[in-house]
Structure 1
Amino acid sequence: MMAPNTSALSKLSDTGKTVADSAEDVRGRQVKDKDGEVVGKVADLLIDDRDRKVRFLLVEHGGFLGFGETKSFIPVAAITRITEDEVDINHTRDHIAAAPGYDPELVNDQTYHADIYGYYGYAPFWSPGYSPRGFPG
């Protein structure tokens, strides 16, 4: 049985806080899939208020000039590499496109988070098997 998640998640941009090391702030960087294809860009980081850790990337993808653009949460456990310009993840572009849709109303819904983690094949951040992998902090 999983321990209850008592953290609330917030977009870093809404908190008035910053990442301690500005080199680790990946907002605005391109996201590339495991085949090197551009998925989109990191629009924001979702942090939990209890542990002050990044839990999800909020990635914008698709669309043209901001129209028709969609957003997805991608668990930080999916990150395989971070460079000055990009964030590489261990999933395909098609897999990300078919992920549970972004819903700002569900930012703090544990079932929604569990569904996203399950879709990507990772343990939720509140469970004993969680591993943040490639993201600092």
Structure 2
Amino acid sequence: MTTSESTTLYTLGDRGQTIDGSANDVRGRQVKDSNGDGIGNVVDLLVDDQENKVRFMVVEHGGFLGFGETQSLIPVDAVTKTTKDEVFIDQSRERVAAAPGYDPGLLEARTYHASIYRHYGFTPYWGLGYAY
């Protein structure tokens, strides 16, 4: 469990990093909700700089032909299964659509992360009882 107030998150894409093995890197995969309906695609991953663990997926959804798309954060705690092309989560498409939008300017704000965890019904990674 990460408890340090100085912990920040960074995007893998900004640092040009990869996940250990392409099979574990879900960027580019389609996200499917608890009913198997498509939500959008994973465009990046947010990593905890203290423990180097992925905490959120940045998912792009909505829009048409690349216009009007929205980005949201989904905690990795919501992932129930991954395949070669897909990431399944235990949330509905509607819940993702109603989530706080992704704001790169708030990557260091714990209150922002807490609001996202709260929206999806999970304990934040720094909270008591959190298990990765």
Q: CA deviation at 1:131?
A: 2.8
Q: Which amino acid aligns with 2:39?
A: V
In structure 1, the partner of 2:104 is 104
Q: Which amino acid aligns with 1:11?
A: T
Q: CA deviation at 1:117?
A: 0.3
Give the Cα–Cα distance (whole angstroms) in 1 for the partners of residues 39 and 131 of structure 2: 23
- Unaligned regions of 5+ residues in structure 1, if any? 133-137
Give the Cα–Cα distance (whole angstroms) in 2 for the partners of residues 89 and 95 of structure 1: 11
Q: Which amino acid aligns with 1:91?
A: Q
- Unaligned regions of 5+ residues in structure 2, if any? none
TM-score relative to the length of structure 2: 0.94
In structure 1, the partner of 2:118 is 118
Q: Which amino acid aligns with 1:5?
A: E
**Preserved CA contact (<8 Å) 1:30 1:40:** yes
Q: CA deviation at 1:7?
A: 1.2
In structure 1, the partner of 2:8 is 8
In structure 1, the partner of 2:28 is 28
Q: Which amino acid aligns with 1:92?
A: S
In structure 2, the partner of 1:135 is none
In structure 2, the partner of 1:17 is 17
What's the secondary structure of 1:60's corresponding residue? strand
Which residues of 2 match residues 44-63 of structure 1 at below 5 A? 44-63=44-63
Identity %: 56
Give the Cα–Cα distance (whole angstroms) in 2 for the partners of residues 82 and 6 of structure 1: 31
TM-score relative to the length of structure 1: 0.91
**Preserved CA contact (<8 Å) 1:9 1:49:** yes
Q: CA deviation at 1:20?
A: 1.3
Instruction: Give a deviation string over 1:74-111, Cα, whole Å, max 9, x none.
Output: 00000000110100000100011001111111111100
Count of paired positions: 131
**Preserved CA contact (<8 Å) 1:5 1:126:** no
Q: CA deviation at 1:18?
A: 1.2
What's the secondary structure of 1:95's corresponding residue? helix
Give the Cα–Cα distance (whole angstroms) in 1 for the partners of residues 129 and 21 of structure 2: 27
